[in-house]
Structure 1
Amino acid sequence: MTGSHQTLALVLFSVFVAVTLAITTWVSRHRHGSAEEFYAGGRLFSPLENGFAIAGDYMSAASFLGISGLIALYGYDGMLYSVGFLVAWLVVLLLVAELVRNCGRFTLADVVAARMAERPVRIAAGTSSVAVSVLYLVAQMVGAGSLVALLLGGSSEAARSWTVIGVGALMVIYVSLGGMRATTWIQIVKAVLLMAGTIALTVLVLLRFHGDVNSLLSTAAERSGHGPGFLAPGLRYGGDWTARLDFISLGLALVLGTAGLPHILSRFYTVPTARAARRSVVWSIGLIGSFYLMTIVLGFGAAALIGPDEVRASNASGNTAVPLLALDLGGGAGSTGGTVLFAVVAAVAFATILAVVAGITLASSASVAHDLYTSLRRPHAKQYSEVAVARVAAAGIGAAAIGLGLLARDLNVAFLVGLAFAVAASANLPVLLYSLFWRKFTTRGAVWSVYGGLIPAVLLVLVSPVVSGSPESLFPGVDFHLFPLQNPGAVSIPLGFLAGWIGTVTSPEPPDEARHAETEVRSLTGAGAV
């Protein structure tokens, strides 16, 4: 990239970082140190504000950079991510949002522990929430590294590494100083910027083809080198049974995983009532649905105007397809329009990453402080406030995400998020649904459900082609993969549900009918909800 690209994009990066730091500083001066303020922003946000914040939390680097890149490289098969991410919100709206708001206070464990023995359930749910959050954070770190590497010429490994470290440091500052209130406003600003940037690019792509979508698709297919096969299923997930099962596994993970994501569940606690939580989801579905439809246009636009070969040459996983598309739409390298549009898109993508990592870090630090710390601390040891522990936890989680982000920097960000969704759907969703809808569910069933999904999901990833055995693996020079699928969802999600059922039917203690009845009334009516 030329010096003008670098200068303008870095200026816009700096402006956004300065604005978000100003928001965080302002909020930190007007806060009080209660857990409700830190975790839930005082529950003062309106459905519209929370809907934008949910959209800002959900539309991550995986969506803006990764999905469009996969569509540019693999055509029809790349669209699975867009469809899966959107359909998942129907599960959230119909089964989760209102009930979770009524039953819990700050975290997933609050919902489950309402009718169970608290200590083992909080430890299990807190552990799985942190695992999911760290996996999700890694994807955002990889996206940030890819973006800045492109900006600085594509070959600067040092710049990529320092970018990952810088993003990690910023997210710790946002969470530690501003808590949920600052994080929410950062996400709202980011959602507005991302929607505006995506709409502008989509309009420019359609104008380039005079509004003729057929021309766009046929040009993309011709430029891809695969012909009509680019617009048909099977380019990435076709062929042998392994690829087809991977397709099913990924689809299950995407559709079921959203309802188990800790940073999404925590957003339902920032509004005053369950009705407001439901209306928040309706607002977010409208924003998210529009966004994912536009990513399809951007992906095929990149394939048609840039070409998969050039996208792959810039970044093997396709993470830089949208910035390259912006450069072309603005007039090409060296033009003023290209420079401005590239810089704006790069800054929006960077804003996306910062806002999402802040939300994830807050949710995971809340799980550490509210669930793990309160359950594991010794009765007579010195007591620290939950908020103080959460701030320390944010720094530790940031450090872990930085290390893993440096290790996984060559993987596609949408693919990495698919793994996080698989773990969430395997460990968190079964225990959540069982707790809300199964009267006979017990503490043993809850603990077995979490670990029965979490442990197989993580182990299957470790022995899959993601880690070793192929040129695209984390460790391409070795081969210890035993599991053929890249996404473990098809195996680990049923195991999570099965483990919860087995734990319940073999449980020595009977279910607490009175507590279940109380939880059921509260979940459906909101009576007694915090």
Structure 2
Amino acid sequence: MSPAVTHPAVQFLAASATEKHRPLIITLFAVFVVATLVITVWAGRQTKSASDFYAGGRQFTAFQNGLAVSGDYMSAASFLGIAGSIAIFGYDGFLYSIGFLVAWLVALLLVAEPLRNSGRYTMGDVLAYRMKQRPVRTAAGASTIVVSIFYLLAQMAGAGVLVSLLLGITTDAGKVLIVALVGVLMILYVTIGGMKGTTWVQMVKAVLLIAGTILITFLILLKFNFNISDLLGTAAKNSGKGSDFLNPGLKYGKTGTTKLDFISLGIALVLGTAGLPHILIRFYTVPTAKAARKSVNWAIGIIGAFYLMTIVLGFGAAAILKPGDIIASNPAGNTAAPLAALEIGGGADSTGGAILLAVISAVAFATILAVVAGLTLASSSSFAHDIYANVIRKGKATEKEEMRAARWSTVAIGAVAIVLGAFARDLNVAGLVALAFAVAASANLPTILYSLFWKRFTTQGALWSIYGGLVSSVVLVLFSPVVSGNPKTSMFKGVDFHWFPLENPGLISIPLGFLLGILGSLLSKEEPDKGKYAELEVKSLTGIGAH
């Protein structure tokens, strides 16, 4: 891997701010890390059972869970990736905000309440209710782990570019070390605190992120006298693209391929949330289905306000920074928001700029740590509960053994995320998350919906849907321009083995996942258990017999 090219002006901008005020920056980071570790240890002491570890004892209120869900959802992709995409591509970058927000309506209307009523700890509980336990749980566990690792890549990439900017690190080795540090912290959060610790960290992070975003949004609007038209006009002029910056087509729409890529991205974003494992397990932390539904309402309000502010963050960065400096700092634009904070605070030589950069970067780092903890918990829970306890041990594992398996799997998943994250550090984190959404919508969503709402669905249909959606989406990503073929933005530069032209596989893999679920069920010789389906239907819609 060749080191990222850093523009001298950007290097000076970051280095002068951090060198002069490095003690302040390190102190802010240290305060957050120590505070969250204290919360994790406190929560860990209250984690006595599997229910505590997997679902936080189902003791969180709708507002608390809504705050935690929004904290889980507003990841590095939201704060760093979307702002960077808007700063570079204008209108087309803003499409990420729309897609992420609209996706919550699908989650609210289709899966939040039925999933809470039907499952216990994981997605596998729902899928295996009326299917053959071992093959379906194995498939659900594999899918959960793969989707989580894709999402983890984005957070690791965000952590690498963020802390590198802050500390003036330009070497590959230094950036890999940062990724490893984040991985170690996330392993500690999950192994010690479980769901309780992770939930409290996410709540704290959500409050910090919203407060920090409000502050930067206010300062950017103040600079332009709260005149949105002036802000957008300056951004368009400063971008060098003119009016094209504010119109569709700068990234998507120029060719037939980019038009298809836009459709693929849109489908993945809108459908992906309802299949994300770390979001789905959040519905199990509340005591009732009503609370699950209310928590999604709270999350929609909080997330909606945040994504409206990303418009100001992205276009504000484009208006006050040189586009060449944004790209030179990070080719994917991930540092646009922190650089904008530095500039709006008074510049690299000012105390105000350094303080604002430190605060916003600490908030972004908090965002990354909280999300990676949630993702790791989702994947380790699925391995321990679905694969270890119900497949390997055939339901004979004790709670203590199950929790031990979850902790060891956390270490393994963290190690994999560290290794892959080192390769993904120069990719736009919003784009990486969109890939995770595509995999989730291809493998998980069809199976969840068919299990809940289709009487004819069978074990074979579930396996075809999960494995077909999972394999097709992953293979298409591996042979797409995201991995190779583009000398500037691909994960592996200098090689080209891509044959799939789209950056997002959703247009192909999502319909394929749904279609395979239908074909597998209709061609199956297995007779669906109508009694079990009737039980699941009553349970999912009314909550009778729910945990």
User: Could you state the TM-score of these two structures normalised by the residue count of structure 2?
Assistant: 0.95
| SS at 1:508 equivalent | coil
> Which residues in structure 2 correspond to 1:114-153 (within 5 Å)?
114-153=129-168
Greater mean alpha carbon deviation, residues 264-273 or residues 110-119: 110-119
Alignment of 1:423-438 (within 5 A): 423-438=439-454
1:279 corresponds in structure 2 to 294
Query: Which of 461-470 and 224-233 deviates more?
Result: 461-470
Aligned to 1:13: 29
Q: Determine the structure 2 residue equivalent to 1:488.
A: 505
Cα displacement (A) at 1:5: 3.7
Aligned equivalents of 1:70, 1:380: Cα separation in 2: 47
Number of the residue aligned with 1:90: 105
Pairing partner for 1:292 from 299, 307, 310: 307
Q: How far apart, in 1, do the equivalents of 2:321 and 2:149 lie? A: 33
The residue type paired with residue 521 of structure 1 is: V
Measure, in 1, the Cα distance between the counterparts of 2:25 and 2:296: 33
1:382 shift after superposition: 8.6
1:378–1:48: structure 2 CA closer, same or farther, 3 Å change rule?
closer
Specify whether residues 204 and 379 from structure 1 end up closer, same or farther in structure 2 by C-alpha distance, changes over 3 A only. Answer: closer
SS of match in other structure, 2:444: helix
Shift of 1:27: 1.7
Q: Is 2:213–2:306's contact at 8 Å kept on the other side of the alignment?
A: yes
Corresponding position of 2:521: 504
Q: For residue 303 of structure 1, what is the aligned residue in structure 2? A: 318
SS in 2 for 1:325: helix
> What is the CA-CA distance between 1:161 and the residue it aligns to?
1.3
Residues 454/194 of structure 1: CA separation in 2 closer, same or farther (3 Å cut): same
Q: Does the CA-based 8 Å contact 2:341-2:357 persist in structure 1?
A: yes
TM superposition shift of 1:373: 1.1
Pick aligned residue for 1:224 from 234, 239, 245: 239
Contact 2:84–2:314 (Cα < 8 Å) also in 1? yes
Q: CA separation in 2, counterparts of 1:230 and 1:380? A: 57
CA shift in 2, pair 1:157/1:10, >3 Å? farther
CA distance in 1, matches of 2:192, 2:200: 14
Q: Is the 8 A contact 2:127 2:451 kept in 1?
A: yes
Instruction: Give, in whole Å, the separation in 2 of the partners of 1:29 and 1:480.
Output: 50
The residue correspondences of 1:417-456 to structure 2 (distance < 5 A) are 417-456=433-472
Partner of residue 412 from structure 2, selected from 377, 396, 419: 396
The CA deviation string for residues 227-260 of structure 1, in whole angstroms up to 9 with x for no partner, is 0000001101121111010000001101000000
Closer/same/farther in 2, CA of residues 261 and 380 from structure 1, 3 Å limit: closer
Q: 2:540 aligns with which of 512, 519, 523?
A: 523
CA distance in 2: counterparts of 1:408 and 1:5, whole angstroms:
29
Matched, 1:357 2:368: no
Q: How does 1:439-478 map to 2 (within 5 A)?
A: 439-471=455-487, 472-478=489-495
Question: Unmatched 5+ residue regions in structure 1?
Answer: none
Deviation readout 1:97-124 (Å, 9 max, x if unpaired): 0000000001111111111111111011
Given that residues 389 and 395 in structure 2 are in contact (C-alpha distance below 8 angstroms), is that contact kept between their aligned partners in structure 1?
no
1:411 alignment partner in structure 2: 427
> Do structure 1's residue 74 and structure 2's residue 64 form an aligned pair?
no
* Pair 1:4–1:447, CA change in 2 (3 A): same
Unaligned segments of structure 2, at least 5 residues: 1-14
- 1:359 alignment partner AA: G
Residue by residue, what CA displacement relative to the aligned partner does 1:310-337 show, whole Å, maximum 9, x if unpaired? 1111111100000100001111111011
Judge conservation of contact 2:169–2:175 (CA < 8 Å) in 1.
no
Aligned counterpart for 2:345 among listed residues 330, 346, 355: 330
Query: What is the rounded CA distance, in whole Å, between the counterparts of 1:81 and 1:9 in structure 2?
Result: 30
How big is the shift at 1:378? 5.3
Q: What displacement does 1:376 show?
A: 3.4
Structure 1 match to 2:43: 27
Q: Which residue of 2 aligns with 1:386?
A: 402
d(CA) in 1 for partners of 2:55 and 2:283? 9
Matched-pair contact (CA < 8 Å) for 1:93–1:281: yes
Question: In structure 1, how many angstroms separate the alpha carbons of the residues matched to 2:292 and 2:476?
Answer: 35
| Distance in 1, Cα, partners of 2:394 & 2:326 | 57
| Separation (CA, whole Å) in 2 of partners of 1:380 and 1:146 | 43
C-alpha contact (below 8 Å) 1:148/1:159 kept by paired residues: no
Measure how far apart 1:137 and its partner are. Answer: 0.5
Q: Matches of 2:394 and 2:145 in 1, distance apart?
A: 24
Matches within 5 A, 1:205-216: 205-216=220-231
Secondary structure at the aligned position of 1:385 is classed as helix
Check if 1:40 corresponds to 2:55: yes
Q: How many angstroms does 1:443 deviate by? A: 0.8
Report the TM-score, using the length of structure 1 for normalisation: 0.98
1:239 corresponds in structure 2 to 254
User: Are 1:107 and 2:127 an aligned pair?
Assistant: no
Stretch deviating more after TM superposition (93-102 or 373-382): 373-382
Give the Å deviation of 1:35.
Answer: 1.0
Runs of 4+ in structure 1 over 4 Å off: 378-384
Picking from 377, 380, 387, the partner of 1:372 is 387
Deviation at 1:379, TM superposition (A): 6.0
Distance 2:113 2:396 in 1: 38
How far off is 1:308 after superposition? 1.6
CA RMSD of aligned residues (A): 1.2
Structure 2 residue identity aligned to 1:21: L
Q: Percent identity?
A: 63
Alpha carbons 1:154, 1:314 under 8 Å: kept: no
1:159 positional shift: 2.5
How far has the Cα of 1:4 moved from its partner? Answer: 3.0
Counterpart AA for 2:241: H
Please list the CA deviations of residues 57-90 of structure 1 after superposition, one character each: whole Å capped at 9, or x if unmatched: 0000010000000000000000111000000000
1:34-56 deviation line (CA, Å, top 9, x unaligned): 21110001000000100000000
Asked if residue 347 in structure 1 is aligned to residue 362 in structure 2, the reply is yes
Q: What does 1:152-191 correspond to in 2, within 5 Å? A: 152-191=167-206
- Provide Cα deviations, 1:326-367, integer angstroms capped at 9, x if missing partner: 001111111011011010001000000000000000000001
Give the Cα–Cα distance (whole angstroms) in 2 for the partners of residues 51 and 92 of structure 1.
13
Structure 1 residue 275: deviation in Å? 0.2
Q: Is the 8 A contact 2:47 2:194 kept in 1?
A: no
Q: Indicate the residue corresponding to 1:62 in structure 2.
A: 77
Query: How far apart, CA to CA, are the structure 1 residues paired with 2:129 and 2:103?
Result: 25
Does the CA contact (< 8 Å) of 1:428 and 1:450 recur in 2?
yes
